[in-house]
Structure 1
Amino acid sequence: MKELKGSVLNTDSYDRRRFGQLLEMSEKLRKVNKEGSSLFPTFQPLMGDMWACLFKMKPELLEEVPEGLEMNHQLMERVMSDEGYQEFREFTRLDDLAAALGTTKYSETVLGWVKEQAQRDQELAEALQNLMNGEQGASQQAADALSAALNQQGNSLSRMLSQATQEAIEAKENVKSLLGGIKAGSGDSELKKVPLKDQLLLAEKLSHDKKLKEIAKWAGRMKVIANRKQRSKHKDATSRNGVRQGNAVEQLLPMELGSYASPLTKMDFLRRYVEGQTLQYETKGPEQLGKGPIVLCLDQSGSMTNQDAISKGFALALMSIARKQRRDFAWIPFSSNAAAPLIYERGKITVQDMIQLATIFLGGGTSFEPPLRVASQVIQQSRFNQADIVFVTDGESHVSERFLQSWNELKSKKGFSVLSLLLGRESIQGVQGFSDRIVRASTFEDESVYQAFEI
């Protein structure tokens, strides 16, 4: 591990060691470091200070500038006095991922700005070259030339830093959209379950993969809708149907809450609560939430090309429901044939799985029977007797009577149900034989599609 040497901030051995670890984790940070270190030799310590100024609780510039770090001191002083810096720190402070992303963006930005100034200013270019050659007095010469550039072109650096800030914030939000659950505000807690190295890998993929970025955008939107649908379903399923004894706090009758609030009756309430004898609403609903696995058969024929990103955002929203309810999730992409099912136990997906999901697209024609056969195999091998199958297609196909007979026999035995989403098609004939519910919509953005999130 390469340890940071030299700092113009109040850093300690932990800070230096932690940045060294981040440098090992992040391919992007290493790439920026290599490029910057070829321009001036103190670029890696500068990156370490960039990280420290974003992550530390109270970063401060040293009053005495260490010898050879004059340029770093000037650049850090300029960054930390920038108008948007303090606000950005509210986002990055004590946040490993946000601070690492901010370090990458800030380091790229400062490097790009210094390069641009060196192309404009021959004196700065020569000073930097002398610095790389280790010539005596080059450090002060470069600092003087940089100071002049900052005085003349400091506003352009501010604009570039503002853009870098927005890109870092967007990058983290996209990672949260992909890896987070459907529950509002659960994104940061879900991220903590994923190793930082994998978070950085996904963030770096997002920075240059437009397709993955688009999937993240749709996944975020779809999860908001899925959360709303699930809350509504839970409310409907737990309608108040009477009174019973118990100790579920959220279901206690108002009179019992009054007993708790009164000093005269509080001890009696606590005794009855511990013994499960307090009065609460009866909330048995018409259906049990979170039954068996969720199986998604997703059409990836050529005609679905334009809806590929949004369809995968839809798949990730369904997967988040499975994760929240600890249900297995099976994703079966199909066109004229069906691919092998991708099984995510209890809806959990790794970063590598995420990248794989984003890059898979089959193309070709449309056939319904192959994915249904694969779904049959998944259901037969499942730990559960009940499953929710979501079948999504924009095509038409014929399913044989012989297959339908075996399908219906399996349905009677395993108790699964099928919701088919027909996109841009009026005819329901192809899916009618194997579906329990059919929803027609022109695209994934139609509200009718969101009925799938009630499973």
Structure 2
Amino acid sequence: AELLAMHHPVLKRDFHRRVLEGTVLQYRLRDDEQKGKGPMVVCIDVSSSMQGDKEMWSKAVALTLMDIARRQRRLFRAVMFSSGDVSLKVLDLNRERRYAPDLNKVVEMAEYFPGGGTDFETPIDAAVELLGEKKLKRGDIVIITDGESQVSPDWLTRLRERKDQLDFSIFAVLVDVGSAETSSLAQFADRITSVKRISDEHARDIFLHVQS
């Protein structure tokens, strides 16, 4: 609507003035679009400790992030994990229709639950490898978990080196419905929130920061 002013000799000058002042109607929208640049790689804990309400919360948060990615035309990858390589499942939800998620993949993400122990290192390494691909560069990692696992100092050192190389952030959503632990997450996550804190304000905080 603002561009219509470009066809009027007087309003055109006023339009240019307001562009410089940042007061045109679409100014804030264009600014927000620039923030949401990168893909999302979301690691979802599907270990035995997540069974029940924790699983439902983790899948709900993942589906919310997926919908945000769709609306912002961002690529979305899900890394489902428990312990080791056997249970690891990487889902490309945009393969066929790019930004519109493949419904079969969404159902697979919602239903997949192998159980077992918890290993943070393998899924984070897989997520970092995805960010190394050309089409997924400038992305960020989100991990959704109850936090009940440990990581080694050597792995943390390698992860920090990769973060410097690829320039990404790691965001954690702690599923604190029941027992939960933050000590390991605090070692490698740049920002942590929890499902009990996801009011409108806290949800906006984590979801906006993951757009950088």
The answer to whether TM tops 0.5 is yes
1:40-68 deviation digits (Å, cap 9, x = unpaired):
xxxxxxxxxxxxxxxxxxxxxxxxxxxxx
Q: Which residue pairs with 1:421 in the alignment?
A: 173
Q: 1:279 aligns with which of 2, 9, 18?
A: 18
Q: Which residue pairs with 1:303 in the alignment?
A: 49
Shift of 1:427: 4.0
Q: Which runs of 5+ in 1 are unaligned?
A: 1-247, 251-256, 261-265
What TM-score do the two structures reach when normalised by structure 2?
A: 0.76
1:343-375 deviation digits (Å, cap 9, x = unpaired):
223542222223322321121121111111111
Distance 1:440 1:356, change over 3 A: closer
Q: Which residue pairs with 1:431 in the alignment?
A: 185
Q: 1:343 aligns with which of 83, 87, 92?
A: 92
3-state SS of paired residue (1:292): coil
Say if 2:207 is the partner of 1:453: yes
What's the Cα RMSD here? Answer: 3.0
3-state SS of paired residue (1:391): strand
Q: Is the 8 A contact 1:421 1:449 kept in 2?
A: no
What TM-score do the two structures reach when normalised by structure 1?
A: 0.38
Say if 2:120 is the partner of 1:368: yes
Shift of 1:407: 1.0
Q: Which residue pairs with 1:109 in the alignment?
A: none
Q: 1:409 aligns with which of 131, 152, 161?
A: 161
Distance (whole Å) between structure 1 residues aligned to residue 182 and residue 122 of structure 2 = 18
Q: Which residue pairs with 1:357 in the alignment?
A: 109
Paired amino acid for 2:130: V
1:294-320 deviation digits (Å, cap 9, x = unpaired):
011111112222132343232122111
Structure with bigger RCO (C-alpha 8 Å, 6+ apart): 2
1:358-404 deviation digits (Å, cap 9, x = unpaired):
32112112111111111111111242432221111113211112211
Structure 2 matches for 1:31-430, cutoff 5 A? 249=2, 267-269=8-10, 272=13, 277-280=16-19, 281-282=21-22, 283=27, 288-307=34-53, 308-337=55-84, 338-345=87-94, 346-424=98-176, 427-430=181-184
Distance 1:302 1:384, change over 3 A: closer
Q: Is the 8 A contact 1:426 1:440 kept in 2?
A: no
Q: Is the 8 A contact 2:91 2:105 kept in 1?
A: no
Paired amino acid for 2:50: M
1:101-121 deviation digits (Å, cap 9, x = unpaired):
xxxxxxxxxxxxxxxxxxxxx
Q: Is the 8 A contact 1:392 1:423 kept in 2?
A: yes
Distance 1:400 1:393, change over 3 A: same
Distance (whole Å) between structure 1 residues aligned to residue 91 and residue 131 of structure 2 = 13
1:30-88 deviation digits (Å, cap 9, x = unpaired):
xxxxxxxxxxxxxxxxxxxxxxxxxxxxxxxxxxxxxxxxxxxxxxxxxxxxxxxxxxx
Distance (whole Å) between structure 2 residues aligned to residue 310 and residue 432 of structure 1 = 21
Distance 1:279 1:440, change over 3 A: closer
Paired amino acid for 2:189: S
3-state SS of paired residue (1:363): coil
Q: Percent sequence identity over matched residues? A: 34
Distance (whole Å) between structure 1 residues aligned to residue 49 and residue 181 of structure 2 = 16
More strand by share: 2
Q: Which residue pairs with 1:65 in the alignment?
A: none
Paired amino acid for 2:70: R
Distance (whole Å) between structure 1 residues aligned to residue 44 and residue 74 of structure 2 = 19
Distance 1:413 1:353, change over 3 A: same
1:390-433 deviation digits (Å, cap 9, x = unpaired):
11111321111221112111111111111112222564221122
3-state SS of paired residue (1:406): helix
Distance 1:313 1:347, change over 3 A: farther
Pick the structure with greater CA Rg.
1
More helix by share: 1
3-state SS of paired residue (1:433): helix
Q: Which runs of 5+ in 2 are unaligned?
A: none
Distance (whole Å) between structure 1 residues aligned to residue 111 and residue 194 of structure 2 = 27
Paired amino acid for 1:301: S
Shift of 1:286: 9.7
Distance (whole Å) between structure 1 residues aligned to residue 181 and residue 111 of structure 2 = 31
Number of residues of Structure 1 aligned to a counterpart in Structure 2: 191
